[in-house]
Amino acid sequence: MGQKIAEFDYIITGAGSAGATLASRLSENPDITVCLLEAGPRDNRVSIHTPAMIADAVYADDLNWHYDTAPQTELNNRELYWPRGKTLGGSSSINAMIYIRGGQVDYEAWNTLGATGFGWNDVLPYFRKSEDQQRFNDQHHGHGGPLTVSDLRYINPLSDAFVRAGMERGHTKNDDFNGQARLGVGPYQVTQRDGRRCSAAAAYLGKHVQDRPNLTIMVETLATRIIMDGTRATGVSVRSKGEDYDIIARREVIVTGGAINSPQILMLSGIGPADHLRELGIGVAVDRPGVGENLQDHLDTGVSFTENTGASYAYSLRAFPKQLAELVRYFFTRQGMLTSNAAETGGFASTRGEDEPDIQLHFIPAIVAARNEPRSKIHGITLHSYVLYPDSRGTIRLSSTNPEDHPVIDPQYLTKGHDMKTQIAGAKMAMDILQAPAFDGQRKAHFTPPSQPESDAEWEAFVREKAETLFHPVGTCKMGVKTDGMAVVDPHCRVYGAKGLRVVDASVMPRLIGGNTNAPTIMIAEKIADLMKAGG
């Protein structure tokens, strides 16, 4: 146990999409004190705020947890790179800024799975509360909220060509994936304000919030353990600049470390599957077998061609003069290519011809960067597809009792049900769209895969060799009803079996939503903040 340094009503462990939102909302009440802990540094790097520098943000050494998965048996034993944000704003400070809520059916499914009170009509008000929509003015959208949602200021001509190509292949045009329905192809809206990234920190932790006397933000401070008095959480042990301290929570500890770190800190604190904890010599405070289970992620396959117009994004000599001009333009006007999030257009489709989508598409006017070479020099186009509702489930387990060691991340991709079949169908659909007439004259040669696969066996081999994460892990502290032995939190995000302890972040989602996961995570935090303010 370290020296005690302070006491607060609430301690929040992680300033990501959920943690930033929660800290901001709870500290609106001047009568309560809130301490927000963040393992990473402040978010003052230019690469965070300049949308087109996303590759730099994703690979930057000190803004990122740099996780790798365990070898994946169905992916030729590859270990996949899982970046997660480690700065104010968390993963929303390094993400692709695509604003998607998911389908109404997703939240009805949550409700049925035990996330009572998270049906569509329950969650829509919280999506709207968080939103400051810059374009649409209808019942689906909100105005005046902290999170600015806007059209992209710049769309590459190749991204426009993708929308035409999709329509040529029979997909309808959809201008608002967060409106009545998701199916179709069109431009994405993004979390950007004035041409800059609107992360959860930019949205919820502006200067007026950080100046509140009742909110203390401690950066470069790792929460190492929740202090438990029996089954009650009474504080958090932290490590900062090599020193260990204890911080006391008068009311609650709220764990907001994301789908990997939240189960990790619970287990380090004796909350989790008793057998696993005992194996590591950790005393069991609360036996919750569901902690670290139910890991779900979106697995992505990108099909790409080289292109000959030079309009695509690449770090080539040919593109350099334009990029230089765009740099100046961005500096003075916050317009142009540097406002691009790369994944400017995309869509939702059903590989089975149904009314609800089973895959999502992200078009990128570039050959996608690899970890060892984040800046691609080759001009090309890539169409990504991923399975919206995978059947496969994985785990997070501790590798040791050292809070600085990475846990074992095993998503067990493609091990269940229809996942491989749908992944192949999505990749085939992507290839078909890239071969539509809209790309004639621009499309040059196959790049990934290097030639047209001839059979399902060849497609399967391609998926096994090339599929990567789309960065949406969820579910490892799932929300559910009391009778569900695998549920970790109740519908108020309170940890079953513990007192004074909640988990609020993407880990509580019982099932992946059909889309990108930032907006739903913020929605969860908005809703829980309201419940807490009402005493729940």
Ligand X SMILES: Cc1cc2nc3c(=O)[nH]c(=O)nc-3n(C[C@H](O)[C@H](O)[C@H](O)COP(=O)(O)OP(=O)(O)OC[C@H]3O[C@@H](n4cnc5c(N)ncnc54)[C@H](O)[C@@H]3O)c2cc1C
Cβ proximity to ligand X, 255 vs 436, nearer residue: 255
* Structure tokens given for 450: 């290097």
Would residue 472 show up in a list of annotated catalytic residues for this protein? Answer: yes
Check residue 95 for interaction with ligand X (CB under 6 A): yes
**Residue 126 vs 459, nearer CB to ligand X:** 126
Exposure of 503 by Cβ count < 10 A (0-12 exposed, 13-18 middle, 19+ buried)?
buried
**Are 99 and 519 in contact, with CB atoms under 8 Å apart?**
yes
Q: Does 16 bind ligand X (CB under 6 A)?
A: yes
The one segment of 90-98, 139-147, 390-398, 412-420 that binds ligand X by CB under 6 A: 90-98
Q: Are 22 and 254 in contact (CB under 8 A)?
A: yes
- Give the shortest CB-222-to-ligand X separation in angstroms: 5
Q: Is 72 a residue that touches ligand X (CB under 6 A)?
A: no
Which of 40, 114, 166, 475 binds ligand X (CB under 6 A)? It is 40
Q: Can you tell me the distance from the alpha carbon of 14 to that of 18, in angstroms, rounded to the nearest whole number? A: 8
Applying CB under 6 A, which part among 81-89, 204-212, 227-235, 246-254 lies near ligand X? Answer: 81-89
DSSP code of residue 80: P
Q: How far is the CB of 371 from ligand X (least distance, A)?
A: 12
Should residue 24 be labelled a site residue for ligand X when binding is judged by CB under 6 A? no
Is 298 one of the binding residues for ligand X (CB under 6 A)?
Answer: no
Number of residues that this document lists for the chain: 536
Q: How far apart, in whole angstroms, are the C-alpha atoms of residue 244 and residue 248?
A: 14
Interatomic CA distance for residues 7 and 505, integer angstroms:
23
Residue 60 vs 425, nearer CB to ligand X? 60
Please report whether residue 58 would count as binding ligand X according to CB under 6 A.
Answer: yes
Please select the residue that binds ligand X; options are 10, 12, 14, 153, rule is CB under 6 A: 14
Taking the least distance from each CB to ligand X, the nearer of 98 and 203 is 98
- Return the number of the residue (85 or 357) whose C-beta is nearest ligand X: 85
| Cβ neighbours of residue 398 closer than 8 Å, sequence gap 6 or more | 264, 267, 268, 276, 280, 282, 405, 407, 408
Identity of the residue, 252 or 307, whose beta carbon is nearer to ligand X in the bound complex: 252
* Helical packing angle, 518-533 and 120-130, nearest 10°: 100
Cβ 334 to ligand X shortest distance, Å: 20
For residue 9, report the phi and psi dihedrals to the nearest 5 degrees.
-70, -50
**Choice from 11, 23, 60, 97 touching ligand X (CB under 6 A):** 97
For 82, phi then psi, to 5°, come to -120, 95
Q: How far is the CB of 464 from ligand X (least distance, A)?
A: 22
Choose, by CB under 6 A, the member of 51, 90, 407, 475 that binds ligand X.
90
Q: Which of 434, 416, 428 is nearest to 456 (CA)?
A: 428
Q: Which of 24, 33, 91, 130 binds ligand X (CB under 6 A)?
A: 91
Scan residues 503-532 and list those touching ligand X (CB under 6 A). Answer: 505-506, 516-519, 521
Is the distance from CB of 92 to CB of 517 less than 8 angstroms? no
**Residue given tokens 């990029």 in the structure block:** 323
55 contributes a contact to ligand X by CB under 6 A: no
Per-residue contact flags (x/-) with ligand X for residues 206 to 235, judged by CB under 6 A:
----------------xx------------
Residue from 193, 472, 478, 502 in contact with ligand X (CB under 6 A): 472
Q: How far is the CB of 183 from ligand X (least distance, A)?
A: 19
DSSP 389-428: S----BEEE-S-S-TTSPPEEE--TT-STTHHHHHHHHHH
Q: Does the protein bind ligand X through residue 407 (CB under 6 A)?
A: no
147 belongs to the binding site for ligand X (CB under 6 A): no
Angle, vertex CA 533, rays to CA 529 and CA 536, nearest 5: 90
The smaller minimum CB distance to ligand X, of residues 114 and 473, is found at 473
Nearer residue to ligand X within complex by CB, 423 or 516: 516
- Per CB under 6 A, the list member of 48, 96, 424, 487 interacting with ligand X is 96
DSSP string, 348-383: EE-TT--SS-SEEEEEESSPPPBTTB-S--S-EEEE
Does 36 bind ligand X (CB under 6 A)? Our answer is: no
CB of 97 or CB of 254, closer to ligand X: 97
Give the residue closest to ligand X by C-beta. 16
DSSP letter string over 456-518?
HHHHHHHHHHH-EE-S--B-TT-B--TT-TT--B-TT-BBTT-BSEEE-SGGG-SS--SS-SH
Active site residues: 472
> Which residues would be at the binding site for ligand X (CB under 6 A)?
13-19, 37-40, 58, 83-86, 90-92, 94-98, 100, 222-223, 256-258, 261, 265, 471-472, 505-506, 516-519, 521
